[in-house]
Structure 1
């Protein structure tokens, strides 16, 4: 449930920001299209980060780890 919420939040945020950009600058529909795509990318990144898939690199360790 959390992973789907992460993705949907990115898409909704991109859509809202795209609509605002189109409304303010009169660039219909390009702002909405571009920011929806960026919202999808951000949603995928958030899902990967939350699931641990895009975590730290295998060869990298913190100094605190022995």
Structure 2
């Protein structure tokens, strides 16, 4: 079976059952940015992108509990 390449972050999203579309909507990041974060090993996001992502994931964790 063919398995798509994923970054550690992409594998974490899969484990937590968070879809890329959900992350895109929750964090107000573009679809391309979320896709690169999940699939491209060589992609290094800007600091502001990481800050936005971390803030939104923390809020998501509070809501999920």
Normalised by the length of structure 2, the TM-score is 0.33
Q: TM-score, structure 1 length as denominator?
A: 0.32
Larger Rg: 1
